[in-house]
């Protein structure tokens, strides 16, 4: 101790030499002066966990050690994870990890023995814990999961999340994308994630995606070889290159829909036809570059598999229709619309091609080439045609319609819309000359239909007709309606809507002529029909009537009383905009026969809060109640009904 206090700056603190044997370890000494060293023994290095470090004069945020790893290393780590759920959990760490995980292909996942052992252990743990049932695994094993993105939710990040999330649950089977985020829309990056993570994808639908081009669909073609259904609508950046890649990568394609893709033409369709032998359904609309060459290749290559074909707003000519008539041997459903370059010759050649022997449903709209001559040829050349729909055919007349009805012996349903040259003579002529299988006829917006000025001669009845629909044909009146009743005694479904020319005088004979019993009756928009018709209908057909629409008719409480007393099978009743009151609603509620499921009193201003108890009683069977525009019903009463009728959907 005395030496310590007598120490001077020129003396050695330790005369025996350095206290540390290794002079090279000078870092273990803390210098307090020229002759003073304090010894610090070595110890374990402290772990630095501070989030910030000093670098020179800057204050920087410290990166975690895992973030220092390059993407290649992270890729190798993540692909060696034992199961899909672990990879999904890691994808939630950051967008960077999500991007890396979503780019791991299924065949790149490590399959070493350690991973397999961990997989087995994980599966056994799940089964014991009950987190994942065997039934669920079987349901999703084939890629039956379905996902849909719309509007702002349609981004690359969400697609990557879907690819990772569904991979651990059996795989994605269906993907629908409608629209795109304006600032971060779907691109090839998102579709690349789907391609690599969802090899089981079978259905892909892309609508209104301006940011998706050939790169994205080429990725799909490279990774989704099981694709069967493809729907491309209003994707302007997609060209023939996409279809070429899809044809090579997805040979199992069966359904193809293309609409509003201006850069797709003959080359792409030819590639699909050449490489996809199992095509069953093709729908193409508004593709100006597509012509006869593409359609011809499609029909000739898929002659024995293509069953549904829809062509609309295309620049094809009579050549395409000739090819359809000759090679459409498997076509059962055909739709042609807005084909301005197709003439009468095209339809005539198609009908005489004798290739449409299996055609069952045929729709033609807005084609100026439809004439009497072509229509007769179609009737003769399609012996199994059952459903025929004609719309906006300006050159079709009564003669062509009657000739078609005579030739089409298997016809079951005929629909005419905006065929203004067809008159009442063509209408009744088709009914008289149709075959024994004819069941339904529909007229809509046909301005050539006028009321009969003279009575029809005795005609053989059309015993097979079951359904009659006449909508918005202003010339149709009582005389035609009465004649229909005599001509069609087996009617069961009647729709007469928007007809101001029919009254009780014309409708009553129809009711008396129907022998089978009416089941569904729609008289909406017929303001000249009143209680007399309803009472007679309830009396004669109450035992069979199931649906009755009287929207806009002159119906009062007397009509509701007749319905309540006779219509025991009625489940759907619409008396909107009628002059019914609370008494009529009470009559329905007091009936022990009627069990309504749907009731509409929309726009009935005489129905008030007093009907609340009656509506509550009806609500025991009601599933839907429409109280819109009922000004005498308060919102408080509706709130009580909503609380009381919790099983019923109420519109107010």
Per-residue DSSP letter, 296: H
Same domain, 165 and 284: yes
Together in a domain, 150 and 248:
yes
Please tell me what DSSP assigns to residue 554.
B
CATH of the domain at 179: 3.80.10.10
Task: Identify whether 331 is part of a domain.
Answer: no
User: Per the structure, how many domains does the chain have?
Assistant: 2
Residue 74 lies in a domain: yes
pLDDT of residue 554: 95
Q: Which residues pair with 147 in a beta bridge?
A: 175
User: Both 95 and 153 in a single domain?
Assistant: no
* 51-67 residue pLDDT tens: 454 445 555 555 555 66
Largest CA distance in the chain: 148
95 and 228 share a domain? no
Residues 91 and 225 in one domain: no
Q: Are 492 and 512 in contact (CB under 8 A)?
A: no
The list of the chain residues with pLDDT below 50 reads 1-10, 12-14, 18-20, 23-40, 44-51, 53-55, 112-142
3-state secondary structure of 83: coil
151 assigned to some structural domain: yes
* Overall pTM surpassing 0.75 (yes/no): yes
Task: Please indicate, yes or no, if residue 43 is contained in any of the structural domains.
Answer: no
Query: Cα 216 to the chain's mean position, in Å?
Result: 22
Asked whether residue 162 falls in the same domain as residue 285, the answer is yes
Angle, vertex CA 16, rays to CA 15 and CA 18, nearest 5? 95
Last residue of a domain, one of 290, 309, 326: 290
User: 3-state SS of the chain: helix, strand, coil percent to 5?
Assistant: 40, 15, 45
**Residues 160 and 93 both lie in one domain:** no
pLDDT of residue 74: 60
Q: Which CATH number does the domain housing residue 75 bear? A: 1.20.1280
- Backbone φ and ψ for 183, nearest 5 degrees, come out as -100, -30
Closest by Cα among 487, 486, 546, 490 to 521: 546
Same domain, 173 and 92: no
Residue with tokens 């990774």: 223
SS3 state of residue 538? helix
Strand, helix or coil at 309? strand
Which of 267, 290, 313 lies at the terminal end of a domain, its last residue? 290
Strand, coil or helix: 533: helix
pLDDT for the residue numbered 467: 96
Q: Which of 290, 322, 338 is the last residue of a domain?
A: 290
Cα-based torsion angle of the residue sequence 298, 301, 306, 310 in order, rounded to the nearest 10 degrees: 10
How would DSSP label each residue in 594-650?
---SEEE-TT-TT--GGGHHHHHHHTTT-SEEE-TT-TTS-HHHHHHHHHH-TTSEE
Whether 164 and 264 map to the same domain: the answer is yes
- CB atoms under 10 Å from CB of 24, counted, come to 6
Q: What local confidence, expressed as pLDDT, does residue 346 receive?
A: 96
Task: Please indicate, yes or no, whether residues 84 and 179 belong to a single structural domain of this protein.
Answer: no
Would you state the structure tokens that stand for residue 170, as one six-digit string? 């059996």
Domain assignment present for 236:
yes
Distances (CA, A) of 18 to 13, 36, 42, 163, 364: 9, 11, 17, 67, 108
Q: How far apart are the C-alpha atoms of 247 and 199, rounded to whole Å?
A: 16
pLDDT at 171: 79
Q: How far apart are CA 14 and CA 37, in angstroms?
A: 10
Please check whether residue 204 lies inside any domain of the structure.
yes
Q: Are residues 280 and 155 in the same domain?
A: yes
The label of the residue with tokens 């906006």 reads 392
Which tens digit of pLDDT belongs to each residue from 417-471? 999 999 999 999 999 999 999 999 999 999 999 887 766 677 788 999 999 999 9
> Do 195 and 222 meet the contact criterion of CB atoms below 8 Å apart?
yes
In a domain, 213, yes or no: yes
* Residue range of the domain that includes 170: 144-290
In three-state secondary structure terms, 7 is coil
Contact 272, 248 (CB under 8 A): no
- CB neighbour class for 68 (10 Å; exposed up to 12, middle 13-18, buried from 19): exposed
Alpha carbon 102 to chain centroid, angstroms: 27
So what's the pLDDT on residue 347?
96
Residue 382 lies in a domain: no
| Domain match, 151 and 93 both | no
């Amino acid at each position: 101790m005395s030496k310590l206090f007598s120490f001077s700056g020129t003396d050695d603190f330790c005369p025996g030499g350095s206290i540390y044997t290794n002079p090279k370890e000078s870092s273990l000494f803390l210098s307090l002066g020229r002759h003073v060293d304090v010894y610090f023994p070595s110890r374990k290095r402290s772990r630095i966990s501070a989030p910030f470090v000093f670098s020179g004069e800057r204050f920087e945020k410290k990166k975690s050690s895992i973030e220092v790893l390059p993407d290649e290393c992270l890729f190798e780590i993540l692909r060696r994870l034992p199961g899909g759920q672990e990879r999904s959990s890691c994808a939630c760490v950051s967008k960077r990890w999500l991007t890396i995980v979503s780019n791991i292909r299924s065949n790149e996942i490590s399959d070493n023995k350690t991973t397999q052992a961990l997989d087995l252990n994980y599966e056994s743990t799940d089964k014991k814990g009950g987190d994942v049932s065997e039934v669920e695994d079987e349901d999703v094993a084939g890629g039956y999961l379905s996902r849909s993105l719309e509007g702002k939710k349609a981004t690359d990040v969400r697609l990557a999340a879907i690819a990772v999330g569904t991979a651990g649950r059996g795989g994605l089977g269906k993907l629908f994308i409608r629209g795109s985020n304006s600032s971060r829309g779907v691109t090839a990056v998102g579709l690349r994630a789907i391609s690599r993570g969802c090899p089981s994808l079978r259905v892909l639908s892309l609508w209104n995606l301006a940011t998706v081009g050939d790169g994205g669909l080429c990725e799909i073609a490279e990774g989704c070889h099981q694709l069967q259904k493809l729907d491309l609508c209003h994707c302007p950046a997609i060209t023939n290159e996409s279809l070429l890649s899809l044809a090579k990568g997805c040979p199992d394609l069966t359904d193809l829909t293309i609409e509003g893709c201006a850069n797709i033409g003959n080359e792409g369709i030819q590639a699909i036809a050449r490489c996809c032998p199992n095509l069953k359904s093709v729908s193409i609309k508004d593709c100006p570059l597509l012509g006869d060459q593409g359609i011809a290749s499609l029909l000739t290559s898929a002659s024995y598999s293509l069953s549904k074909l829809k062509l609309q707003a295309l620049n094809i000519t009579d050549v395409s229709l000739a090819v359809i008539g000759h090679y459409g041997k498997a076509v059962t459903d055909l739709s042609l619309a807005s084909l301005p370059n197709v003439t009468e010759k095209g339809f005539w050649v198609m009908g005489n091609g004798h290739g449409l022997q299996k055609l069952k449903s045929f729709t033609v709209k807005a084609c100026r080439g439809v004439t009497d001559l072509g229509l007769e040829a179609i009737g003769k050349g399609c012996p199994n045609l059952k459903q025929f729909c004609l719309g906006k055919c300006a050159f079709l007349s009564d003669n062509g319609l009657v000739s078609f009805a005579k030739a089409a012996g298997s016809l079951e349903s005929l629909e005419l819309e905006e065929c203004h040259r067809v008159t009442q003579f063509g209408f009744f002529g088709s009914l008289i000359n149709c075959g024994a299988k004819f069941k339904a006829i529909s007229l809509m917006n046909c301005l050539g239909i006028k009321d009969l000025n003279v009575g029809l001669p005795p005609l053989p009845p059309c015993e097979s007709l079951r359904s009659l629909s006449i909508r918005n044909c202003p010339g149709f009146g009582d005389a035609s309606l009465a004649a229909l009743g005599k001509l069609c005694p087996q009617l069961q479904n009647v729709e007469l809507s928007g007809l101001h020319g029919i009254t009780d005088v014309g409708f009553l004979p129809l009711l008396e002529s129907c022998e089978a019993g009416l089941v569904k009756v729609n008289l909406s928009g017929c303001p000249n029909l009143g209680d007399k018709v309803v009472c007679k209908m309830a009396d004669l057909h109450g035992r069979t009537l199931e649906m009755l629409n009287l929207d806009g008719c002159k119906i009062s409480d007397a009509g509701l009383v007749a319905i309540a007393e006779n219509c025991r099978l009625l489940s759907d009743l619409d008396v909107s905009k009628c002059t019914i009151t609370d008494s009529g609603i009470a009559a329905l509620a007091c009936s022990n026969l009627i069990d309504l499921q749907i009731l509409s009193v929309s726009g009935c201003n005489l129905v008030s809060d007093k009907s609340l108890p009656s509506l509550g009683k009806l609500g025991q069977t009601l599933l839907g109640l429409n109280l819109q525009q009922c000004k005498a019903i308060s919102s408080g009463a509706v709130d009580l009904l909503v609380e009381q009728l919790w099983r019923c959907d109420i519109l107010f």
